[in-house]
Structure formats: C-alpha cells, structure tokens
Structure 1
Amino acid sequence: MIEPKSNSNFYVITGGPGVGKTTLLTELQNRNYSVVPEIARKLIKEQQENNGKALPWKDQNLYKKVMFDRSVSSFEQTEEIVNGNEITFFDRGFLDTICYARLINSDVDEQMEIYAKNWRYNKHVFVLPPWKDIYKTDNERKQDWKEAVLTFEKMCETYANYGYNIIETPKLSVNERADFIIGFIK
C-alpha cells in the first residue's frame, strides 16, 4: 500500500516540448528557488550515451516505466532534502508520464494510478502553452510542432483529470514568466 503524500510547496511546471520550461526553471533557480530538473531529458541523454533501449524511439514502454519510476523517486528524494518546507519547482511531474502513456496508447498500470491519486503536488500546476516562435528540436527533443501542440492539450487534460488546477503561463519574457509564477504563489 502506498501511503498518501501531499506537498503544497511542490509546484509542477509542465507543457509540451520546446515551450521554455527549462529556461524558466533556470530563472527561478537564479532567484534562489529550489528546482528539480526534468527526468525525461536526463534519461534520454543517459540512454543515448550507453546505447540503451529506454528511449521513446526504441522501446516506448520501457522508457515510460523508467521515467515514471525515476519521477516518483525524485518526488520522494526532494521531500527528504527540503523537508517539505521549501517552495520547489519540478520540471515536469510523474503525471507527465501518464500523459505520455496516453499519447502512445500505452497502459496506465495500477501502480501509476495509485501514485497519481495518493501522492500530490500543489493543486496549481503551471502549464506553458505551445509557442511556435521559440520551438525547436534537438538531440533529446524530436517531436514535431503538431505533436508539441497535442502534448500540451493532453497534459492539461491529464492534470485536470487528477484534480489539479491548470494555470496557463503567458507567453512573455522569461523574467515576466517567473514574475507571474512567483506572484501567483504568493
């Protein structure tokens, strides 16, 4: 049995690929906020370096499983480090993996459901909308624009389905986006 956990100081910043999440999180970190980096990007880099199979273009289900497990561990480790008392921003949460599963028509297993229902971030989730002017692909981000828009839509739907309040972060400069988020939480 998974014991319920909730941390109102844990804020998720999410959205489709290439919308400025990492840049925004870097700005928040520069303002002395605690930030948890994205699991997916780190996993993809690691798998590419080791010729691994847990990649979205090799073994989607293995990628999904490893990403979910690491996201849950990240939540737990962060809770231990900050003792739950410090405002912390996550570059995606474990519900992003549930969204990914739905995007690839893969099962959301019982364990994933249990964590999603029992381990809770702050009820407000900041979602960055698709922004074509800043979108670009790279070695870890291979989705095209259409997939980026679909991911945004599914991400909003996924978080809302688990009872989170979606806060769409405006398309502004990184400083203004950071000001918007900090202003909202204060």
Structure 2
Amino acid sequence: MSPRETEWVIIDGAPSSGKTTIVHALHTRGFRIIPEVARSLIDIELAKGRSLEHIRGELGSAIREEFQESLLSIYLQQFRNIDPEEFVIFDGALPHIDAYIALENTTPIPEVMEESQKYHFRQVFVFDPLPFEHDHVRVEDQQSALFLDQKIRSIYHELGYQPISVPVASVEERLGFVLAHLQCIFADHTSSFSARRSCRDATCARNGFPAFLHAGSQ
C-alpha cells in the first residue's frame, strides 16, 4: 500500500543541533508547529515530581522502553489527528525513535518503521550538530549526539528521503536557509500549490500556509 501523502515538514537532528530554536523562530513567523514530543513528555513528567533519571530510564532498560513506547503512542495520535493536507512543521518525528533505540540498545519497536512507512512527509530537514550543551532534559553527550546525528540521517534515507542538511551557522542564517528551501518546496509544488498562490492572505492562513511566503509571487 502506498504511503499517505502529507504536507508535513520535519525538522530533525541530534540533541543540541539547534533545531528547536529554528522551529520556535518559524512559529513566530506564522507557521503551525508541533513541539518536540520527547521534550514535552519529559517536562510533563518532571512537573509530576519524577526525576530526569527515572523518566529517561537510567535506572534500567525496562523504563527506557516504557519511555519509547510513550513517545510512539503520542506520535501516532498526532499523525491520526492532524490533517495531512495542512502545512505543519514537526520538531522531530516518529522515525527518530529508532535512533534512540539504537543508542540505548533497547528492544526494537517494529511499529516505529511500520507506521513511518504509512506517511510520506513533504520534506525532511536534518540539522548538523553544534557543540554539545546540556540542559534540564538532556542526558546525552557529544559522542552520543554525533551517533544520533548519523543514525537519524540513515533512518530517513532508509525510508526513501533525501534530507536537506542544515549547516552550522548563526540562527539568522539557518532560519534564512530553511525559509528559502520552504519557498522552493512550494514553488515546485503541483496545481494544488498554484491554487494556493492565487489565494488572499485569509485563505492562506486558513490552510495553515503563512501568507508572507506569497510575497512577490503573485
């Protein structure tokens, strides 16, 4: 069965790659974004009084597997509830769960790849890693981040994507790089995009497509 075509864009990368900074910047410019599932889940559990070590499973593989299963469940719920024709930017996505499974050497979850193959994302960006910085949810280190970077890329290649690598640069330069590619993505789109180009701002906003990308294209 062919995968379901979507207008979803994935911004992915290893921890401390700067992807979330750019996702937040895109959000301020009118894009609909879906926050990183793992970080959101960790913040919720921390608010309940659980320790980061317990949440991330440093106490044993069973807890790590429980965390990964929770991530899978949330991603599947998102995929089923979001309109595939809506232009949405995801901060990370279902396929990268397998990268963390490989890093942590826990039991594979076949559903990760099975479910990932049911959808075709409009485009995938993978951010090149930056020097590693710890924060309140990260338990990895620079070596782990480099491993995850390569694994994430290989997983998307395995799924048939040619991810766009976002090079190391300033926040403004990376944001401009991503915005330029988003414009190219839709300039090459089919007649459905041609219809969008003729829409007024209100229609563009209703479709989840930021009107500023139409500037100069009318």
> What's the TM-score, normalizing by structure 1?
0.86
- What runs of 5+ residues in structure 1 fail to find an aligned partner? none
Alpha carbons of structure 1 residues 3 and 69: separation in structure 2 relative to 1, 3 Å: farther
Alpha carbons of structure 1 residues 175 and 87: separation in structure 2 relative to 1, 3 Å: farther
- What runs of 5+ residues in structure 2 fail to find an aligned partner? 184-218
The Cα shift of 1:181 comes to 1.4
Q: Which residue number corresponds to residue 58 of structure 2?
A: 57
Which residue type is aligned with residue 12 of structure 1?
Answer: I
Alpha carbons of structure 1 residues 121 and 24: separation in structure 2 relative to 1, 3 Å: same
Q: Which residue number corresponds to residue 119 of structure 1?
A: 119
Alpha carbons of structure 1 residues 173 and 36: separation in structure 2 relative to 1, 3 Å: same
Q: Which residue number corresponds to residue 18 of structure 1?
A: 16
Preserved contact between residue 130 and residue 148 of structure 1 (Cα < 8 Å): yes
Alpha carbons of structure 1 residues 3 and 62: separation in structure 2 relative to 1, 3 Å: farther
Matches of residues 140-179 of structure 1 in structure 2 within 5 Å?
A: 140-179=137-176
Higher relative contact order (CA 8 A, sep 6+): 1
The Cα shift of 1:111 comes to 2.4
The Cα shift of 1:180 comes to 1.1
Preserved contact between residue 95 and residue 113 of structure 2 (Cα < 8 Å): no
Segment of structure 1 superposing worse, 137-146 or 96-105: 96-105
C-alpha RMSD of matched pairs (Å): 2.0
Preserved contact between residue 27 and residue 175 of structure 1 (Cα < 8 Å): no
When Rg is computed on C-alpha atoms for both structures, the one with the higher figure is 2
Segment of structure 1 superposing worse, 21-30 or 67-76: 67-76
Structure 1 vs Structure 2: percent identity of aligned residues? 24
Matches of residues 61-100 of structure 1 in structure 2 within 5 Å?
A: 61-79=65-83, 84-100=84-100
Secondary structure at the counterpart of residue 179 of structure 1: helix
Segment of structure 1 superposing worse, 88-97 or 48-57: 48-57
